[in-house]
Structures are given as C-alpha cells and as structure tokens.
A and B are shown apart, each in its own frame.
Chain A
Amino acid sequence: MRRRQSARPQWRQPAVVGPSAGGGRLLAAFLTTFNPPEAKVLVEELLPDWLGLSNFPVDEGLDRLRFFAELEEELKRLKGRFTIVSTMGASVPTGNGWIWNYIHRLQVGFRRAATQHAKLWLFHRAGVGGSSETLEVVVSSQNLTGEGVRGQIQAGWRCTVPLAADRSPRRRLSWGALSPFLDQLADACGPSGRRAVPYWQGVLERAACPREATFIGSVPGVHPADPPKSEVAWGAAALRRLGGAQSRSLAAMVPTVGNWDARSLESWMKVARVEPPAFNLAWVEPVHPWAPRWQLNAATEKALSACKVNWLHLPSPHDGGEWRSPLCEEHKPADTRWSHCKVYELGSNGERRLLVTSANFSRAAWGDVMRDGRTLQIDNFELGVAIPGDAGLAHRSRKRAFIRATGATSFEKNVDDPIAWMDVRWDGNSLAIEVRLAGDTRLDGSVGIEIARGPRTEVVHVGHMRPPSIRVPWPVARGVPLRTRLTTKDGWSCEVAVQDVRKADADEWLCDAASETEMQDLADRLLEERYHFFDEDEPAPARKAKKKTPGSQGATYAVAAYEDSRRRFAAIDHWAGTLEEADGQVRAGLLRDGERIAKRWLKIAGDSSRPDIAVSASLAAEELLARVRRERGRK
C-alpha cells in the first residue's frame, strides 16, 4: 500500500540519491539540465553519490588516484547507458573532460531552435538482496552546474518505485506527460536522442507512477490551448486540467518572471482558468539578498500589478525580529544561497495541489497564447510534478504593500546560432558529424579535435564539407577524440563532446591522473578489494630465513603461502556469495569481475619471484576460473 504524500518538504542534500539512499547498483541514468553540465561538478559532487563510489575526490596521493580509477571503472560499466541532455552551448572547459567519453551528452535543437530547461533525473538501479530493480525519478529546479549544486536552493520531487519483471503499456501511461515528454525530447536531440529514449520508455512500462503524482510538461511548438482529454496537454493547457473547475486560485514562487503585458497575461490566465484577483505572486524587496538574482523587469511588474496580481511579500533574513523562512524551518537566515525553486500552488474547491517544476513564470515556459486564443506557442522543454498539498506560500509570506525588486532583463526568443545544432559520433574509425546550419552559414573546412590523455588538439582540414553530414576519418591510433569543433567562414565556432560508440575497452584509461598502467593496477586492486582481497606489499623473506639452516626457508615460505592462499580463497568465497545474491542485471558483470581477478592472479603467478606465492596465486586463479565456467554453464 502506498503511503500518503507528506505535505511537509524534506531538507536534503542535492546529490543524495542512489546506493546511499538505499538503492542498488546503477544500471542506467538519464538526466536533463539547462546549461551544459559541468564535468567538475559531476566528478566531485554528484557522481560519487550516484555511483555509490567507495572513494572520494581528494587533493593528493594514492587516494586521489584510487578515486579516479574507481570512477572511470564505473563509468566504463555504464558506457552508452548514461545520458545528459541540455540546451546547445559550450561547456565550461575542464580537466575532467574525459568523462564525456562515457556519458553521452545530447543537445536539443536538431529540427529547430529550442531551450531545454527541464531538470529530470532518471536512475535505473539493480535490486539488492533479492529485492526488485528500481526506478528513481527526480524532478526539480536543479541544473548540473556548480551554481546549481552549491549556490542555489532548489525545490524538487522524487520517488523510487520497484520495477516489475514484465512490461505493460498501461504502466507507462500512468506516468502521464512524462512518457510523451521523453519522446519529444528525443526527437529534438536527433538520431542519438531517438536511440537513447526507448530504453527509458521500456523502464516506464515496468513501473507504476505514484498515484498522487501528476506530471506537467512543456515542449517547444504550437499546441492546442484546450486539447481533447485523450491528448496530452502542454504548458498552460496542462495547468488548466489540474485541480477542480471552481474557485481556482494560483500562487507562485519563482526566481524569474518573463516579459508579460496585459494582453498576454489575461489570455494566459484565461487558458489556465485563473481569474486575476486569484493570482498571487511571491516576490522580494530590493534589499532582499535574493533580489540581485531574481528577474522581473519594471514593465512586467507594472503590467502584472495592473492586472490585479496579488504580490506576496517574501520575508528577508535582514528584516529583523524572528526569522521565518519562506521555504521551511530548516532554512536558516545565514544560508547565503538564493532560491532557484519554482513552486506553484493551485487551489480549487477546497482541494490544493502543489506543483514543483522547472518552469519559471514566463511565456517561453508556459506558452504564449496566440491571437486566435486557441493555441499556445511554447519555446522550452519544462517538466514538473503536481502532488496534493501546498508549500505554505500563503502563511510563509504576507499580502502587504511593498516595493518589488526589478531590474533590466534580457529574455531572448529561441534564435539559432550560425551552427545551430551539432552531434558527433565516433566508432573507432571515423567521426560522423551531423550539423544544422542557420541561414546561409558556411563552414571553413576545419575540424578541431581534442584528444584524451594529453591536452592535445589537432586540426583536420576537410576539403569539401557537405552538411548536414560530415565524415572525418579518425582511427584509434590517432587517439581517443573527446571534443570536436567546427568553425564558420566568419569565425563563429561550435564545440561538442564526442559520443564514443565503441564498446568500452577494459584496458583503455582516459583519465590522465596517472599512467594507463597505474590506472589499470589501481582499478584491479579496487576490484579485488570489492571482494575483500587486499593486496599486501609482498614481504621480503625474513632475514633469519636467508641463513641456510635446514628447513628454515621452507618453513617461513610455508606460512606465507598458507596465509596468501587463505586470503585468496576467502575472496573467492566472497565473490561467490555476492554472485549468489546478485540481481540478474548485474550477474554478467560479476562473472567478468571473477575472470578479471583470475587473470590478474595468473599474471602474478607468472611474474612473482616467490615460488610459494606463485603457486598460491595460480591455484586460486584456477579455482576462480573453474567457478566462473561452472556458473556460466549453469546458465
């Protein structure tokens, strides 16, 4: 039986999902963000939690290298099943750009200019200890950037639901707008998007959406303002369907209010079925610490006030007296972050619905009602979840006269850059570049390629570029390409991460924190440790044993060999135990782990100067290989 949704918000770390929150090993992930994701943030703040790493990024020494070895090892395992979608744009340059070889970065804009503003996280995880696999869904206001993680307060909704063994389209339909939203997003990302999304539609067919949750989305395009019930509604049309029909009221707390005039606001409210006096907007005074970040221009403020929008005054920590946060009790006045939350409350006939979303109060997000009054023009991808309850905006803010913080804003409609969209795939032989150019843009014929392990960038000159598809021969021997840059004849350039569609290579290490040999050795050690085998420094024989007293050397070696053997066989038992409890999804990986450890031990047997250790390692390796074979045969 499902528990009733609690109206009280949790106060939680932005990254805490995954194994630390009770889930199993990550099998696949799909995330969306507005700005291109920052590799540093993923490496240092998010991936360690999401992947359940046992190491943490530190500044120096072996622990630093162990962290990178573990991280790359895990990303190799997930190669091709970890996708992040964003708006087109250059990512912040970083030393950790190698992660994009494993995490596919897709960008919207394949057909037309679009803004990806939704913040959706989907995590598919293995079951633990016989429990079923899970789907974790997080819908929030959080971008995958340093500012998003550390500089802002976000609001979000999350759920973890068990996955059934079978698929059912009815389950997928229970997710409402989420499934068609994913289809639309995939289409906007081009062929790579269309390859990534079916996996997630399959996962949605195995999971039922929590009953209380209703997904509300926006996708770019012109959509009906009041579509038939059998069709998906987007933007304000979706809001129109939320809640009851009578006595509707709307309250919003968002950091950005787009450009509105009286006509556009009135038309919009008509579509959303909210009468002007029942629309409340929470805002800040100019002295509020959030004011420099919140966006509202004076003309819009004037238009909204003229349309009788009620302004709710959000208290400032500098107000004096007892502090009462507009968010929740745990939010302290000393918190220097600013609210990036987009929270709406919809009331009707005594029913209240709380909407936690990515959508600011703008026409780009919710739709601009066209002159005919029957269609909406939406520019952004947005996603939110409505649940019963409210955020307490009414009693955490006050209806009173106050001066609203306003400033100059520059909201640009979606306009194509000269290189409007670009996608690059590499199969180990050549780079397949797909590009959409705006107007009469012409490329200059050069392709800049950044190569992994060593900060090298090569420029290849391609004689005849024939967009939209460009092929550049690039064999593995020239290095693993990480980023590709195209430049137009008038100097505009566009750079995107390369999708490496080769199968993950266990022996290839792209992180340049250490040599490939060192990274491999560290990863192998970490693998052994996972099964409780700790590779001790090979002890030199005791000096006493070097004296050629009869039997002394043999006795010393015998004890060491026994101890070494005991540890290796204990590790084999641990591996076997883990395999026995494993979910079907991770079983193949565990068998590969066994093979890899056995291979390492066979190498140790061949290389060791100690005959006793060589025998011990060899015996253990053979036993492990035999068990792997037996398990495979059983299947």
Chain B
Amino acid sequence: MNRGPDPASWFYTAPMEDVAVRRGDPLGLQGVAENIAETLVPGLSNRTVDARWISILCWCLRQGHGAWRAYGAGHGEPALGKHLYPWVRPLELLWVARTAEQTEEGGRGRQLPGIRPVRNWIQSNRRPGNFAFAATAYEQYRFTGSYGGYRAALRSLGGMTDGGGGWLLGEQGRKLAEIAARHVECPNAFTRRSGATPSPERLWTDAVRWKRSSAGFLPTLLRRADALDADERAILKQALFTEPSDDAVQAQARARRRRMVALAVAGSSASVRADLMADVAKALRGEPNLPWLPNLPGFSALADAGTGAMNACWQAVSQARDQVLTVADVAHAPTMHDALKELVQASRKWQSRRAFTSWEQAGRLADTVLSAKQQPAALLRRLIGYHVQYGGGLRWVALDGDMVRPIARLREADASLYKYRLPALARLAAQCGVTRRIPDLLRDETEAETAGAGA
C-alpha cells in the first residue's frame, strides 16, 4: 500500500529482534554440507523437527487462504506468498500463544518460533499489535517462523500443496487441515462485508476459538516422539516415507531415500557422528549416482573437527575479553590443544582415502592442516589464515602479526556442527512410527537446534 511520502521526523533506534539463529560457517564447508543433506534427506530442512507443525500449518494455510480470498487483493494467483502470507502469520502465532498458555512448562522444550515476543504479548493482555514483534522481525517471520521452517516440506512432500507451490493445499494437506480443524472453532469461509477490511491480526484474534481438545493437539515436546494422532500419523507417514501417489515420481524417490536413511540412522549404534555417517553410507551403497558415499564419514569427521577447532579458538579469544592473545596463547588454551589434535587426525584420514576429489573445499582444508609443522601454534596460524580466506559469512578472528584479534562481536560467533538434517529426520521418522527410537546422538542436537530458534 502506498502511503505517500512521510513527513519529516526524528527518532531513536529501537533494538533489532534476534529472530533467526545462524549457525556460522567458519571454514566455508556449508555448500558441501547442504548438498549432502539434500541427497540424504531430500526436501526437508534442519528445522523440520515436529510433524505436528505440518498439520497445523496446513490448517493455517487453509484458513489464511479463505480470508485472503475475502479480504485480500481478491485477484491474481493466491500462491503469491507476499500477499497471502500476512493472513497466515497470525494463525501460526496464535498456535504459539496457545501452546505457551496451555502447557505446564509454558511452551519450553517445544519448537515455538517467536515465543519471546508472544509471551510479552500475552502478558500485555494481547494488546500490542503484531504480537509484540518489532516491525522488521514481524516482516521476517515468514522466513524465521514455523512456515519458513516447514516451507521446504510443504513444497516437496507429495500431495501436501498444489503443484508443490507451498501455498495452496493439495489432497493430503487438506486432510491434515481437517484433522487440525477438529480442535478449533473458526470459520473457514468469509464473506466480505461493507466497511473497513479487518487486519489479519484482528480478524484471527477475534475469530479463533479453541476447543478443549486443542490442549492435546499442540506442537509436541521435542524430547518425546510419540504424540501424533493416528490418522494424522498415517497421512504424514505416507507423505514423508512411503510412495505418496503414482504420479509424483520425484516425491516417490525422495520419500524412499528418507526412509532408507531414517532406518539406517535408527539402526545405528554409533556413539560418534563419523560412525553414524558410516552406517548411513553403508545403507545407501546400492543407490545409483552417489560416488562420494565412501567419503561421507571422512568429510563429516573433518568438518566436525574443523568446526570444533574454530569454536575452541573463539572460546579462548572471547574469554580473554579486552586482552588480545598471541597465537601461542590461544594454541595452548585448554580445549584448543585437543581440538587441533583431532583436526590433524581427521585431515590425515581424509587425505588417506581421497578417492573422490570434487569436494575441493575439504581437500584444501586437510592440505592446509597437514602442509607444514604440526606444532599447535603453527597449525593454529594456518587454520586462522584458512578461516579468513575461505570462511563463509563474517570472520571471527584474524591474525595481526603474532596476535589473534577478534573480529566478530561476542555473541555472533560459535558454530554448531553440520547436521545434514539427520536429527530432524530421525524425529519425524519416530513420530510417524517408521522407527522406534531417536539415537541419543541426534536427540540432543534436535533439542539444541530448537532451543535457540524461538529467540
């Protein structure tokens, strides 16, 4: 809507909301990790950890579409997220608010993006507009909220949305919406009346009435994986892990791959991630067009060791606060020594089995680590140099002569390990009854991922 030029004004800047958690990519390996993730767990993301959200979002899309038709632009393709999404967003947030209010732990331990402002909104008698979000954060919720997290799934799962567009429900999506609708009293068709168009926030805050049964139909507790309704589970199991329909060849192949990997993960007794990846590689060895499969455990070990070493380096630098440390100081910090040792081992392994060379980033890292002396200070110097030259996003530290200078602000650094979507997959598989358990190795990662996502 064009409001025309603003008059002049003066201002102070409000704080920006931290709505997105970015994992950091200190050694520039994210591109490879993303490709591996898409091959192992196609069509999902690291944030698709709760199948219940898929059902809820299908209901949100159904409701949002009805209201958009009545009150929105009224013409053009409804799939245009920019126009339709504003009618969906308040519904997502009302589910977040409902979960915060209805659960004993106030929503903790569940995946509830935006819970912090929503709590403020509840405490302020639901008064501030936009659920107490700052304007930009509210605008960005399309990407940082639940829909953003599950958009990949809504597009790729067979029958979930029309044409895989992610906005109009397909047959399976409509069924899930119907299941969620049992727990809410809310009109799904609106007739435009004369007078001002209600804002989506106002419309839904007035229209949504929760049934008592909704207390049992909320985003689930992440530490458990047994809370889907039977009919809901059947639909999601089919969409995620079995052949959804005869027509969708790609969806079929994706579901088959997810099932194979989910079973491999659940059956693994690995206690370290590299072994888990070895089990996954073993399960997929009969699959075509995966020449890099034997290198998967090696890459995983190298990426984890590299990330671990950079985290240890950052820890040493940030703990020193205003004092700038020398390379030797950092290299001999308590956790740094072991982290560097692990990186050398992982690099040696990578080089010894380097049959597949198109992951040049990994080869380059290993070469850098092993290129000269292995003394901690010399090795750390090369690692920081590598980070500065090849890392993705903001650099954390840089060398200044013999000093290690922090570049990132304190709260920005520290990266989580690459997950390859495996924790998300393991939980969805357990929720759908495809597997019986989530390996402990992955359970913690699921909870850690979502602990920050609500920020």
**A185 on the B face (CB < 8 A):** no
B11 and A156: CB pair below 8 A? yes
Q: Quick one: given A11-B12, A537-B164, A539-B247, are A63 and B5 in contact (CB under 8 Å)?
A: no
B22 and A59: CB pair below 8 A? yes
**B31 on the A face (CB < 8 A):** yes
| Interface size, chain A (Cβ < 8 Å) | 92
B10 and A9: CB pair below 8 A? yes
State A425–B134 Cα separation when bound (angstroms).
41
| B312 CB to nearest A CB, Å | 21
Q: Quick one: given A9-B11, A63-B151, A94-B395, are A162 and B5 in contact (CB under 8 Å)?
A: yes
**B77 on the A face (CB < 8 A):** yes
Give chain A interface residues in 1-52, CB to chain B under 8 Å: 2-3, 5-6, 9-16, 20-24, 38, 40, 44-45, 48-49
- A162 partner residues in chain B, CB cutoff 8 A: 5
**A463 on the B face (CB < 8 A):** no
Give chain B interface residues in 44-68, CB to chain A under 8 Å: 45-46
**A337 on the B face (CB < 8 A):** yes
A40 and B393: CB pair below 8 A? yes
B247 and A540: CB pair below 8 A? yes
Binds B, one of A101-109, A145-153, A464-472, A605-613: A145-153
State A13–B136 Cα separation when bound (angstroms).
7
B25 and A95: CB pair below 8 A? yes
Which of A58, A131, A149, A457 contacts B143, CB < 8 Å?
A: A58
State A570–B14 Cα separation when bound (angstroms).
42
A56 and B16: CB pair below 8 A? no
**B152 on the A face (CB < 8 A):** yes
| Besides A5-B9, A331-B12, 16 new A-B residue pairs in contact (Cβ under 8 A), listed by A number | A5-B10, A9-B10, A14-B16, A21-B6, A45-B16, A57-B20, A60-B34, A60-B46, A93-B388, A154-B13, A157-B8, A158-B8, A514-B31, A534-B77, A536-B164, A537-B163
**A532 on the B face (CB < 8 A):** yes
Which of A131, A155, A567, A570 contacts B10, CB < 8 Å?
A: A155
**B71 on the A face (CB < 8 A):** no
B246 and A455: CB pair below 8 A? no
**A96 on the B face (CB < 8 A):** yes
- A63 partner residues in chain B, CB cutoff 8 A: 143, 148, 151-152
Which of A54, A60, A327, A385 contacts B45, CB < 8 Å?
A: A60
B9 and A95: CB pair below 8 A? no
State A23–B5 Cα separation when bound (angstroms).
7
| Interface size, chain B (Cβ < 8 Å) | 66
A10 and B2: CB pair below 8 A? no
A92 and B34: CB pair below 8 A? no
Which residue on chain B has the smallest CB distance to residue A39? B394
**B223 on the A face (CB < 8 A):** no
Which of A128, A147, A337 contacts B2, CB < 8 Å?
A: A128
**A449 on the B face (CB < 8 A):** no
B394 and A92: CB pair below 8 A? yes
**A587 on the B face (CB < 8 A):** no
* B interface list, Cβ under 8 A from A: 1-16, 20-23, 25, 28, 30-31, 34, 37, 45-46, 76-77, 79-82, 134-136, 139-140, 142-144, 148, 151-152, 155, 163-165, 246-250, 388-395, 398, 407, 409, 412
**A210 on the B face (CB < 8 A):** yes
27 contacts between A and B (CB under 8 A): A9-B9, A11-B11, A13-B14, A15-B136, A16-B136, A20-B135, A22-B5, A23-B5, A44-B22, A57-B22, A58-B148, A59-B20, A62-B152, A95-B25, A95-B391, A128-B2, A147-B409, A153-B13, A155-B12, A157-B10, A158-B10, A327-B12, A536-B164, A539-B163, A539-B247, A542-B246, A543-B246
A532 and B11: CB pair below 8 A? no
| B187 CB to nearest A CB, Å | 27
B4 and A131: CB pair below 8 A? yes
Contact with B along A328-347 (1 / 0, CB 8 A): 10110001010001000000
- Dominant SS at the A interface? loop
Contact with B along A124-160 (1 / 0, CB 8 A): 0000110100100000101000110111111111111
A534 and B163: CB pair below 8 A? yes
**A272 on the B face (CB < 8 A):** no
Which of A14, A159, A213, A529 contacts B13, CB < 8 Å?
A: A14
State A142–B8 Cα separation when bound (angstroms).
18
**A232 on the B face (CB < 8 A):** no
| A209 CB to nearest B CB, Å | 9
**A590 on the B face (CB < 8 A):** no
Which of A10, A514, A574 contacts B9, CB < 8 Å?
A: A10
- A58 partner residues in chain B, CB cutoff 8 A: 20, 143-144, 148
A150 and B16: CB pair below 8 A? yes
- A96 partner residues in chain B, CB cutoff 8 A: 393
- B7 partner residues in chain A, CB cutoff 8 A: 2-3, 5, 159, 210
Which of B4, B11, B20, B80 contacts A155, CB < 8 Å?
A: B11
B34 and A61: CB pair below 8 A? yes
- A567 partner residues in chain B, CB cutoff 8 A: 77
Which residue on chain A has the smallest CB distance to residue B7? A3
| A366 CB to nearest B CB, Å | 20
6 cross-chain pairs, A with B, having the tightest CB-CB distances, nearest first: A536-B163, A159-B8, A22-B3, A56-B143, A10-B11, A128-B2
Which of A159, A212, A532 contacts B80, CB < 8 Å?
A: A532
Q: Quick one: given A61-B45, A149-B16, A387-B10, are A16 and B34 in contact (CB under 8 Å)?
A: no
A213 and B8: CB pair below 8 A? yes
| B258 CB to nearest A CB, Å | 15
State A131–B135 Cα separation when bound (angstroms).
25
- A142 partner residues in chain B, CB cutoff 8 A: 13
- B390 partner residues in chain A, CB cutoff 8 A: 455
A335 and B2: CB pair below 8 A? no
- B163 partner residues in chain A, CB cutoff 8 A: 534, 536-537, 539
User: Which of B22, B80, B81, B394 has the largest number of chain A CB atoms within 10 A?
Assistant: B394
State A335–B14 Cα separation when bound (angstroms).
9
| A89 CB to nearest B CB, Å | 13
B8 and A5: CB pair below 8 A? yes
User: Which of A13, A23, A157 has the largest number of chain B CB atoms within 10 A?
Assistant: A13
Which residue on chain B has the smallest CB distance to residue A332? B15
State A40–B148 Cα separation when bound (angstroms).
21
B247 and A16: CB pair below 8 A? no
Q: Quick one: given A93-B398, A534-B79, are A56 and B140 in contact (CB under 8 Å)?
A: yes
State A24–B3 Cα separation when bound (angstroms).
10
A22 and B6: CB pair below 8 A? yes
| A9 CB to nearest B CB, Å | 5
- B389 partner residues in chain A, CB cutoff 8 A: 455, 457
Which residue on chain A has the smallest CB distance to residue B246? A543
| B61 CB to nearest A CB, Å | 15
Which of B5, B25, B34 contacts A160, CB < 8 Å?
A: B5
- B79 partner residues in chain A, CB cutoff 8 A: 532, 534
| B157 CB to nearest A CB, Å | 12
| B282 CB to nearest A CB, Å | 26
